[in-house]
Amino acid sequence: MNKPFSQACENNKAPILQVLKRTFSDVSQVLEVGSGTGQHAVYMAEHLPHLQWQPSDQLINLPGVKLWCDEYSGDNLLPPIELDVTQAQWPEIKPDGIFTANTLHIMSWAMVEAFFKGIGSRLQAGGKLCIYGPFNYQGTYTSESNQAFDRFLRDRDPLSGIREFEAVVELAELAGLALVADHRMPANNRLLEWCRIDV
């Protein structure tokens, strides 16, 4: 098979890295939830050599992720593992960083709830969570393009759609996470940064 490719990943990887360089400066292992094509995994591992990057995704996407990872010559990119956020037990790892990009609006809300429950069971105390993607604020779209994108998502899958910032923050708090920063990113996206505050 050919390597999968996402132009969105190419467009957003550098701005995301600028935030992660600071947020993950003292992190040793990052679990990436929903690695997609694998482009982010390779790029972040290359530019954050001080940490171990663990890609993960649903089983169907792992062959494509592996094609990207196999071309990486460094030693800090781990083999991709299967992770479905709804599974009862997440893989037996305890990362001090978790990253996901452009996933919450693809998941159903039940899957978003499961995602935060899984984070609560795996992220170390003091660990960092970073989520990249579009969000609504106080029930309002941040741009006309996001409104059109949300319509596209819901036409394709009624259970998907751009999530409400306030609802996501509430789920994060239930998982023991405190919001640290809300970074404005290109193309009407955000990067939300949390810290795990309980044990």
Q: Note the pLDDT tens digit of each residue in 57-106.
A: 999 999 999 999 999 999 999 999 999 999 989 999 999 999 999 999 99
CATH class of the 7-196 domain in this structure:
alpha beta
Residue 1: its pLDDT value, please?
Answer: 75
Rounded distance between C-alpha atoms, residue 156 and residue 63, angstroms? 25
Closest CA to 159 of 189, 99, 114, 118: 114
Locate the domains of the chain by residue range. 7-196
What b-and-e string marks burial along 49-84, b requiring 16 or more CB atoms within 10 Å of the CB?
eebbbbbbbeeebbebbbebbeebeeebbbebbebe
Per the listing, tokens 């899957």 go with: 111
pLDDT tens column, 128-173: 999 999 999 999 999 999 999 999 999 999 999 999 999 999 999 9
Cα angle vertex 135, ends 134, 140, to 5°?
A: 125
Tokens of 49: 């050599």
pLDDT tens column, 93-140: 999 999 999 999 999 999 999 999 999 999 999 999 999 999 999 999
- Sheet with 29-33: strands ordered across: 81-82, 52-57, 29-33, 97-101, 128-133, 189-196, 177-185
